[in-house]
Amino acid sequence: MSFSHAFNPTSLREYDIRGIVGQTLDAKDAFAIGRTFGSIVADKGGRTVAVGYDGRVSSPELEAALVEGLVASGMHVLRVGRCPTPMLYYASTVKQTDGAVMVTGSHNPANYNGFKMMLMRKPFFGEQIKQLGERSASGQVVPEAEGSSESIDITADYVARLMADWDGGDRILKVVWDNGNGAAGDVLPRLTSSLPGEHIILNQQIDGTFPAHHPDPTVAKNLEQIIAEVAKQGADLGIAFDGDADRIGVVDDKGQIFWGDQLLVVLARDVLKSHPKGTIIADVKASQVLFDEVERAGGTPLMWRTGHSLIKSKMAETGSPLAGEMSGHVFFADKWYGFDDALYAAVRLLGIVARSSEKLSAVRDALPATVSTPELRFDCEDTRKFQVIDEVAARLKEEGAAVADIDGVRVKTEDGWWLLRASNTQAVLVARAEATSEEGLERLKAALVSQLEKSGLEAPDFSGENAGH
């Protein structure tokens, strides 16, 4: 039977395939992903693919169609079932599968869903996703074959492996967790019952409608519930996950948010004790404070491009033991496997806090104070966004500015720094600025606005966007 299938072009993203269920993504797409990705695995001489799915309402149907497509390509599918994304990565790693596909909408609204993939236990992204789309449309798949599938339960093994790196001290912690009704809901109580201390879990039940709040811990509004509960319980800290638990959010005992780069400072100081001079990678949106603190702790800071697949690849290339992003992705490769896992990051963070006599708020308060804008996103046509970055970069270099251009432009001045980059996944430009004073931040924002205007863009309103960091 001949096969060809054209995806909605908006669904083929830089790091995954993603769309609105029933509009730009459906079961036919899921089958086509299985049929084509299975063919790509077969071309590499592979035969086993691990598959998991998150707690979204549409995920079981999409997973079933995906498996059908993989089986039709001759694959043997290990069905891990409903699980957090990192548990699927773990299954693929320890079972040494040739491919892995996770059905997940991650931190997107409830009506979205998508697919994250690994090929030969490495990220499958960028050009590979584009080629998958082209192969599917042209029907370039292996002849139909009869594969097979089996369901496996790896939860107990996964929790045991998370706990194998527990290294806490004598301090007994009280911890509030917010599962956000996400995919970690079945694993989390098993993990907390293995950990010492007192644990309170909010929104444990997996519910793809996300009734409590949106599952994205990088947005302050989504942390209001856990902040209130930390105060009510007098807890040592709070830990929140996104919808598929590959991203972590942390609040300290005072209810202050530990942003991704601040969390990485705490983790890096610990990792560098056993990996002196180790390369610690963070994305271009991270605070200068992070890079300075890594250096102060005896590490080698490396600024890299935003995107979990890009960070993972750079880690493998440099032998980095730890990396992180502002978005809450944390990657350990010192004892762990180099993939982003919020549950594992939580275990390591709790170990650090349990070995410390200091409160987490004291650690945060001791970091150099800065004022910054949040991540500012504004519309810019896909056809124009990268041109704007090129124009800005050319002008800045002509002016002799101190520019890092690994991912957009990051400009360093006496006041601090500002960043302008094009999103890889949306028709938007992303801006951010950080300074040591309010006045300095205003100057940075003015410089950014000036560059946007020179490229004929109306600058977004940055007023009232300052926040301590």
Q: Which of 59, 92, 106, 372 is catalytic?
A: 106
CA 119 to each of CA 27, 46, 132, 212, 414: distance values in angstroms, whole numbers, following the listed order: 22, 9, 12, 35, 44
Q: Find all residues with CB under 8 Å of 316, minimum gap 6, and list them.
A: 122, 338
Is the separation of the CB atoms in 310 and 304 below 8 Å? yes
| 39 among known catalytic residues | no
b/e string for 157-196 if b means 16 or more Cβ within 10 A?
A: ebbebbeeeeebeeeebebbbbbbbbbbbbbbbebbeebe
Q: Contact 380/436 with Cβ under 8 angstroms?
A: no
| DSSP letters for 96-165 | T-SEEEEE--TTS-TTEEEEEEEETTEE--THHHHHHHHHHHHT--PPPB--EEEE---HHHHHHHHHHT
Residue 102 dihedral angles phi and psi, to the nearest 5°: -110, 125
Tell me which residue of 195, 368, 353, 369 sits closest to 267, measured CA to CA.
Answer: 353
Dihedrals phi, psi of 27, to nearest 5 degrees: -65, -30
Scanning 355-437, the segments in alpha helix (DSSP H) are 360-365, 382-398
Active site residues: 106
